[in-house]
């Protein structure tokens, strides 16, 4: 407050001194040039000069304000444009993370057009458009990104392939990824997306061809890759029989698929199981029995033992005797007991079959064992127990059936 009073007093003193100076010394100014002549009082001339200086300073300030303002005077100034872009980036990224797709597309597109390095914003906008089902907008945004940053072709193509997969365009995604694999054969993300795409398409042959690249590029952990390899070969064996027009050509296709495996792979229980099951499907029951017998002799595996009871070898009695030999080492395996029950049925040994099936059910309540024993008891005339087992087996087959509503009994 004191400072204001001091400034006011100083202004009064200056004004008074200036008034005294004007009163004592009026003076004059004469400007003559050629035919031009200007004459004025000294103080008036100084006042006019001061006014011109003030006016120039004010004009300079206004021009600077227009060019550099933050939106007070010129909303399109450089500083305000940067501010709007920053807001668009922040809001667009937030919208994208929270699933507000239309707003995310709008903000990120605006940011991409304004930024010198727009790739991430175009990719985000394309994803937002894709989530809205706006395929054409999504593709156009990716094309625009490629125009602005052609050196980012791989990143843009990977995003395109991912979006194509998301909307179910697997053929288009495959074309995109194969083109990128040709140009970037060792890129981990290209290989990973190809692996996922082949699995989604059920193209196990293509996945098998990709396995060496997956292994070389260490795309997956070793244990995950091993599991994928077994699954791929197993599925390939399972589909082999569908490639033939008749049983003979199906059998030949199955043999070709089996021979493609290495010696070590042909000893894998999971692959042996798939091979034997397909042999059974094409009618090669005897060969399926031999394959399973050899595999179980080499290394016992419960799933193989179960399938052994479903194939019919050339000598049913020998087949039963072989399976009973495994029982000594695995007396509590319900799958083996089920197999022994089935083989006993093949050999018409009803009492032995009943004992084995009862033993299997004591070890594990299994729908297959319930059904086999129920069929046997029905034939032996034990209808009530047979019906109980059929009902139990149905419930075990799908527990969800027990929760479904059923109509009430018909009333007279």
Give phi and psi for 40, each to the nearest 5: -155, 165
Count Cα neighbours of 259 within 13 Å in the Cβ-side half-sphere.
Answer: 6
* pTM over cut 0.75: no
Spatial CB neighbours of 385, under 8 Å, sequence gap ≥ 6: 374, 377
How far apart CA 67 and CA 77 sit, in angstroms, is 6
Cα diameter, the chain: 146
**Architecture of the 165-220 domain:** Alpha Horseshoe (1.25)
Would you say 95 and 103 are in contact if contact means Cβ atoms under 8 Å apart? yes
Per residue in 303-329, pLDDT tens? 999 999 999 989 999 999 999 999 989
- The answer to whether 338 and 354 have CB atoms below 8 angstroms apart is no
Can you tell me the distance from the alpha carbon of 290 to that of 307, in angstroms, rounded to the nearest whole number? 12
* pLDDT score at 403: 57
pLDDT of the residue at 26: 64
C-alpha to C-alpha distances, 279 to 198, 282, 315, nearest whole angstrom: 26, 5, 17
Q: How many CB atoms lie within 10 A of CB 318?
A: 12
Partner residues linked to 41 by β-bridges = 28
- DSSP letters for 1-29: -HHHHHHHHHHHHHHHHHHHHHHH---EE
| Percent of the chain predicted with pLDDT > 90 | 54
Residuewise pLDDT in 10s, the chain (412 residues): 677 777 777 777 776 666 676 666 666 666 776 667 666 666 666 677 778 888 888 888 777 666 555 444 455 556 677 888 889 889 999 999 999 999 999 999 999 998 889 999 999 999 999 999 999 999 999 999 999 999 999 999 999 999 999 999 999 999 999 999 999 999 999 999 999 999 999 888 899 899 999 999 999 999 999 899 888 888 888 787 776 667 788 888 888 888 888 888 888 888 899 889 989 988 889 999 999 999 999 999 999 999 999 999 899 999 999 999 999 899 999 999 999 999 999 999 999 999 999 999 999 999 999 999 999 999 999 999 999 988 888 887 766 555 556 566 544 3
Write down the pLDDT at residue 411. Answer: 43
Specify the DSSP element, H or E, that contains 280.
Answer: helix 269-281
pLDDT digits (tens, 9 = 90+) for 65-121: 665 554 444 555 566 778 888 898 899 999 999 999 999 999 999 999 988 899 999
Q: Is 284 strand, coil or helix? A: coil
How far apart are the C-alpha atoms of 67 and 214, rounded to whole Å?
57
Where does residue 409 rank: exposed (0-12), middle (13-18), buried (19+ CB within 10 A)? exposed
Do the two domains 71-148 and 165-220 of this chain adopt the same fold? yes
In the chain, where the domains are located:
27-68, 71-148, 165-220
How far apart are the two ends of the chain, measured CA to CA in Å? 105
> How much is the pLDDT for 12?
78
Report in angstroms the alpha-carbon separations of 405 from 367, 390, 402. 22, 20, 8
CATH 1.25.40 fits 71-148, yes or no: yes
pLDDT at residue 23 in the model: 64
Burial class (CB in 10 A: 0-12, 13-18, 19+), 213: middle
Phi, psi of 333 (to 5 degrees): -90, 110
Give the per-residue pLDDT at 249.
84
Tally Cβ neighbours within 10 Å of residue 145.
25
Phi, psi dihedral angles at 41 (to 5 degrees): -65, 150
Handedness of CA 266, 267, 273, 279 (dihedral sign): positive
Name the β-bridge partners of 39.
30
């Amino acid at each position: 407050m004191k400072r204001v009073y001091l400034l006011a007093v100083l202004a009064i003193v200056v004004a008074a001194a200036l008034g005294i100076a004007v009163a004592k010394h009026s003076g004059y100014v004469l400007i003559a040039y050629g035919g031009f002549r200007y004459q004025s009082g000294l103080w008036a001339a100084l006042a006019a000069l001061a006014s011109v200086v003030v006016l120039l300073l004010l004009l300079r300030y206004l021009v600077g304000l227009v060019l550099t303002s933050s939106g007070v005077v010129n909303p399109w100034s450089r500083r305000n444009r940067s501010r709007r872009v920053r807001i668009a980036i922040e809001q667009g990224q937030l919208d994208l993370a929270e699933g507000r797709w239309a707003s995310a597309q709008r903000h990120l597109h605006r940011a991409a057009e304004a930024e010198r390095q727009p790739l991430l914003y175009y990719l985000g906008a394309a994803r937002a458009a894709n989530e809205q089902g706006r395929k054409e907008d999504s593709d156009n945004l990716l094309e625009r990104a490629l125009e602005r940053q052609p050196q980012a072709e791989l990143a843009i193509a990977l995003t395109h392939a991912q979006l194509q997969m998301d909307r179910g365009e697997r053929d288009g995604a495959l074309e995109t990824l194969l083109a990128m694999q040709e140009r970037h054969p060792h890129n981990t993300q290209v290989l990973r997306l190809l692996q996922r795409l082949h699995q989604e398409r059920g193209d196990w042959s293509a996945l098998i061809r990709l396995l060496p690249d997956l292994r070389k590029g260490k795309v997956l952990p070793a244990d995950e890759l091993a599991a994928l390899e077994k699954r791929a070969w197993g599925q390939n064996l399972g589909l082999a029989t569908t490639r033939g027009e008749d049983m003979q050509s199906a059998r030949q296709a199955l043999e070709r698929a089996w021979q493609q495996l290495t010696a070590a792979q042909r000893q894998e229980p999971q692959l042996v199981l798939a091979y034997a099951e397909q042999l059974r499907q094409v009618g090669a029951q005897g060969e399926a029995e031999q394959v399973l017998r050899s595999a179980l002799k080499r290394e016992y595996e419960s799933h193989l033992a179960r399938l052994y009871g479903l194939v019919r070898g050339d000598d049913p009695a020998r087949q039963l005797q072989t399976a009973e030999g495994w029982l000594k080492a695995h007396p509590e395996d319900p799958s083996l007991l089920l197999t022994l029950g089935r083989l006993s049925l093949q050999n018409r040994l009803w009492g032995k079959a009943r004992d084995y099936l009862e033993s299997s059910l004591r070890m594990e309540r299994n729908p297959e064992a319930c059904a086999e024993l129920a069929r046997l008891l029905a034939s032996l005339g034990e209808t009530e127990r047979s019906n109980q087992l059929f009902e139990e087996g149905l419930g075990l087959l799908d527990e969800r059936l027990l929760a479904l509503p059923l109509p009430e009994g018909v009333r007279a």
